Amino acid sequence: VWKNCLDFIQDNISNQAYKTWFEPIEAVKLADNSLSISVPSKFFYEWLEEHYVDLLKSALTKEIGRGARLIYVIRMENTPDKQKAYTEKIPSSQRSHVASQSVEIATKQKNPELKNPFIIPGIRNLKIDSQLNSNYGFESFVEGDSNRLARSASMAVANKPGGTSFNPLLIFGGVGLGKTHLAHAVGLEVKEKYPDKTVLYISAEKFTQQHIESVRKNNRNDFIHFYQIIDVLIVDDIQLLSGKKGTQDVFFHIFNHLHQNGKQVILTSDKAPVDMQEIEQRLLSRFKWGLSAELLQPDLETRLSIIQNKLYRDGVDMPEDVINYLAENIQSNIRELEGALISLIAHSSFSRSDVSIELAEQVVKNYVKKSKKQISIDHIQKVVSDYFQLDVEILQSKTRKRNIVQARQLAMFFSKKMTNNSLTAIGKQIGKRDHATVLHACKTVDNLQLTNKQFKRFVEDIDKKLKQS
Ligand code: ADP
Ligand code: MG
């Protein structure tokens, strides 16, 4: 009977709500018209009553017929004597409905652990898949000057989640420098040290999707509640919440709840808090409550250790000069360094020969070419300013001098062409202009190129410079 009820329920609520609130329920027995189900805690019972009573009623009535009764049994799994407490539900005056009146709850018994109803032993039994990647532990994270602070802060947090002043812990730094790896490492370590703690890793992108979905399905409260019961919440690439006001609001809410309850929050971002665009001020100021630790570009020594570590783990040999060549030529991105290395290992195992320095050169060239699109707006502004021998501040200023306007427009044009930023983001960074100005700049540059030979020359020169850098 319960199985059929569950099927019905599952069809009517989100998967997440189902997992959170119905999977932990166990059917105990069915006698006459009464189905007993056991739930992990009083709180859980109250939540069900408050949010799902109609759904439960419908499911039960469908299965058992009118007059069906539901009896909640509250599990007390963590009580010292393992005693189970049973609670009988009395049908409400509306005969044909499943009862939903408050009843004698087991917590009224002398049970020291349950004095505060919000410290809920049962809820720990919720099985939440932490979404952690077991390859991203501390043991595979090579320490170096560029990551020492971030790494040790992460370890401190992992040892005492919620118990340090590093809350939230914000790990920030450029692409491919190990933010995601470090964030997983914290989560994995917490699970190792505190198996009872609920850890969840989620990308800000997925968080946003879930939020939108919850609004659409009308169960935003379940969504929020789901996040509020987590002990260690890791949100990756928080900069992706830029411009998403609704999701920021909900995150703000969840963040506050977790923080107030001594739960740990770990965030990563590819920008420092001061540089995060279109993130609400109140959220940014929360980020600064804890510790912001930056991952810098790895120095040569660290790059060498990362390569050696990887080779060691994979049990692969590689000539010394090739290792040095890789470490010297791929400087700014550990993901690319690893990518080139993996590609070399693949080549050598395919051709059953040692990796030659020539092959390494070829592979590195490919990698460096592919990474071109990671040019930043700042970099573009710098290159354009240098080209016209201007200061970046002048480029960003409000001046309407013709040559400066042109330089500014070129910076906007290339930012649109070579980065993934929105018109709004580009405008903001280039002297706080609006998106219409950027759009206009792009059109102007397109047109001028066709009519003005000298201007076309500028565009080509700058293009070349940007591609070289
Ligand atoms: P980010 O999230 O900053 O873009 P990732 O965490 O995805 O970067 O790291 C990119 C790759 O580089 C991953 O495969 C990661 O394991 C590796 N990596 C980064 N930093 C280190 C490090 N210090 N030691 C070993 N591997 C690292
Ligand atoms: Mg990442």
Q: How far is residue 355 CA from its own chain's centroid?
A: 37
What stretch of H or E contains 348? helix 334-351
Atom of ligand 1 nearest to the CA of 174: 3
Q: How far is residue 374 CA from its own chain's centroid?
A: 21
Q: Are 25 and 37 in contact (CB under 8 A)?
A: yes
Q: Residue 122: its pLDDT value, please?
A: 35
| DSSP annotation string for 140-170 | GS---TTTHHHHHHHHHHHHSTTSSS--SEE
CA distance 170 to 382: 28
Q: Ligand 1 mean position to 330 CA, how many Å?
A: 14
Q: Are 287 and 168 in contact (CB under 8 A)?
A: yes
CA distance 225 to 229: 7
Query: What angle do helix axes 435-451 and 453-468 make, rounded to 10 degrees?
Result: 120
135 in helix, strand or coil? coil
From residue 277, alpha-carbon distances to 63, 211, 287, 291, 295 in Å are 53, 21, 14, 20, 20
- b/e 79-105 (16+ beta carbons within 10 angstroms → b): beeeeebebebebeeeeebbbbeeeeb
| DSSP annotation string for 206-236 | HHHHHHHHHHHTT-HHHHHHHHHT-SEEEEE
Q: What angle do CA 223, 226, 230 make, to 5 degrees?
A: 140
Q: Ligand 2 mean position to 263 CA, how many Å?
A: 23
Sort strands 264-269 and 26-31 into parallel, antiparallel or unpaired. Answer: unpaired
CA distance 156 to 150: 10
Give nearest CA residue, ligand 1 atom 4: 176
Pocket of ligand 1 (CB under 6 A): 136, 140-142, 147, 173, 175-181, 306, 334-335, 338
Q: Ligand 1 mean position to 297 CA, how many Å?
A: 11
Sort strands 169-173 and 291-295 into parallel, antiparallel or unpaired. Answer: parallel
Q: Ligand 1 mean position to 150 CA, how many Å?
A: 13
Name the burial class of residue 22, with classes exposed (0-12), middle (13-18) and buried (19+) by CB atoms within 10 angstroms of its CB.
buried
Give nearest CA residue, ligand 1 atom 25: 141
Q: Are 264 and 233 in contact (CB under 8 A)?
A: yes
Q: Residue 16: its pLDDT value, please?
A: 80
Q: For the chain, what percent of residues have pLDDT higher than 70?
A: 87
Give residue-wise pLDDT tens across range 15-30: 888 888 898 898 888 8
Nearest to 44 by CA among 134, 120, 130: 120
Report residues near ion ligand 2: CB below 5 Å. Answer: 179-180
Give residue-wise pLDDT tens across range 378-394: 899 999 999 999 999 99
Domains annotated on the chain, with CATH: 2-123 (3.30.300.180), 138-295 (3.40.50.300), 300-373 (1.10.8.60), 375-468 (1.10.1750.10)
Q: Are 172 and 292 in contact (CB under 8 A)?
A: yes
Q: Ligand 2 mean position to 284 CA, how many Å?
A: 20
Give residue-wise pLDDT tens across range 175-198: 999 999 999 999 999 999 999 999
CA distance 3 to 24: 13
Please state the φ and ψ torsions of residue 136, each to the nearest 5 degrees.
-100, 50
Please state the φ and ψ torsions of residue 292, each to the nearest 5 degrees.
-105, 120
* Block residue for tokens 């919620």: 162
Counting as low any pLDDT under 50, the low residues of the chain are 77-125, 372
Please state the φ and ψ torsions of residue 2, each to the nearest 5 degrees.
-60, -40
Q: Residue 127: its pLDDT value, please?
A: 62
Residue of 142, 143, 269, 335 best suited for mutating to test ligand 1, as the one with most atoms within 8 Å of CB: 335
Q: Are 64 and 91 in contact (CB under 8 A)?
A: no
